[in-house]
Amino acid sequence: MTNGRLRLCFLTRDYALQPPYGGVATYVRDAARWLAAQGHDIEVVCVNRKHVPHTTEDGRVNVHFVSPKRIKPRRLVGLAARLPGLDSLREAYSGWGLLENSLGGWSTVRLLSRAARFDLIECDDYEGLAFWGLWPIHRYRVLLRGHGIIHLDLPFARYPGARFHHFLERLCADRADFILTASENLVGCYRAELGLRHNRIASLALPLDVRDMPQRDGDDIRTDGQVTVLYVGRLEHRKGTDLLFAALPLVRQQFAGVRCVLVGATEDEFTEQLASFLASNAGWVTYAGALPQDQVFVYMARADILAFPSRTETLPRTLIEAQLLGLPQVATRVGGIPEVVEDGVTGLLIDSDDAEALADAIAKLCLDQGLRTRMAEASRARAPRKYDIDTIMAQQLALYQTLANGSTPAGAFGNARNLIA
């Protein structure tokens, strides 16, 4: 670090310069661009099997899209045999792609560091991506930005390699110099599910850059007898899309003026289910597909209610964006969602896996224009104070500088503001 100027690398799976435009991808882009605008030297390494390897500039940020690096099976077997805690070698075989992803990313980090050493590497906590930067030699100061860990008790987490995935995340969490999670709920998950053995962890909400968001001034509440329910996210089991498909016809039985717009990419197993749902509900349900963020905001600005029936979440960006636009939310009471949605104030919270409760909550908002108006106003008043990018990133930068100086913030679990004050 020279004169307070950091050389920082983000190692991530996604970057919002090109699809997929997920919450993590958008966070990395917003954070990297904010830091670069403050004069810091920022590189992003994005390792993803879907991307063609290349380097591009995004404003003042250098973005390197790279591929995984092949690890021969015989080398993987030798590695797996030395790692404790594996149920079987089959788990390691199933998860070897995670090690290849990590190796591809860290090989690029090391190449870039030859020009000038990085003060700090911020790495996604997903899938053990930090592995080759922490094991067997801990070469860099590594901050894990905790977006979400695997929950092995959930049905969709029971796939070959899931336990190896979980093991890699636990190993990385134990060796990281610091973990900055997106929610207080996730802090607890690190302790309970990953068995974290240190207190180098805090929570800080993901920042949002709202300068390009369309504005709703409170006069957008519809009075024509129709109410538009918007869903934004991947169409998949984890996001509870099947529950939404079951709930919406029940809503229509209570309120004939309901309309629905679905925005997001579709998982393969949901393709037929989506086609059947659209065919059965033609005329009042629209599927817009996967869209860039600016177009998602346009749909949010035109909607009346956001439905978010997810089965597991850390701190969903979509709900925060909805609040910033004054869009009342109906969401499940899981993970970090209650840290975003204030039940009865900015939206309504329901239990997970309950399609009838989801339908009743959506119908309640459809039928009560006054309630929608009050929740829209409360959302607009609350969100800017909590998630403003300048406020959040100033706190995050202070943490970066502490770590880059070779220090670890004092204190145990809690909000990052308390640890860096």
pLDDT tier at 239, thresholds 50, 70, 90: very high
Count of domains for the chain? 2
Edge-first strand order for the sheet with 7-12 is: 54-58, 61-66, 41-47, 7-12, 120-124, 142-146, 178-181, 201-203
In whole angstroms, give the CA distance from residue 94 to residue 88. 10
Same domain membership, residue 262 and residue 156? no
Higher pLDDT, 126 or 417: 126
Same domain membership, residue 308 and residue 404? no
Asked whether residue 114 is domain-assigned, the answer is: yes
Q: With contact defined as beta carbons under 8 Å apart, do 24 and 48 qualify?
A: no
Q: In this predicted structure, what is the pLDDT of residue 369?
A: 94
Same domain membership, residue 77 and residue 159? yes
Same domain membership, residue 259 and residue 235? yes
pLDDT digits (tens, 9 = 90+) for 344-388: 999 999 999 999 999 999 999 999 999 999 999 999 888 777 888
Same domain membership, residue 250 and residue 149? no
Is the model's pLDDT at 342 over the cut of 60? Answer: yes
Same domain membership, residue 395 and residue 319? no
Same domain membership, residue 283 and residue 172? no
Cα 363 versus chain centre, distance: 28
CATH of the domain at 352: 3.40.50.2000
Q: Is residue 107 within a helix (H) or strand (E), and if so which, with residue range?
A: helix 96-113
Asked whether residue 217 is domain-assigned, the answer is: no
Asked whether residue 272 is domain-assigned, the answer is: yes
Residue percentage of the chain with pLDDT more than 90: 63
Same domain membership, residue 265 and residue 145? no
Same domain membership, residue 313 and residue 260? yes
Asked whether residue 69 is domain-assigned, the answer is: yes
Asked whether residue 17 is domain-assigned, the answer is: yes
pLDDT tier at 421, thresholds 50, 70, 90: very low
Same domain membership, residue 396 and residue 368? no
| Domain limits for position 364 | 227-387
Same domain membership, residue 76 and residue 28? yes
Asked whether residue 367 is domain-assigned, the answer is: yes
Same domain membership, residue 394 and residue 382? no
pTM of the model: 0.85
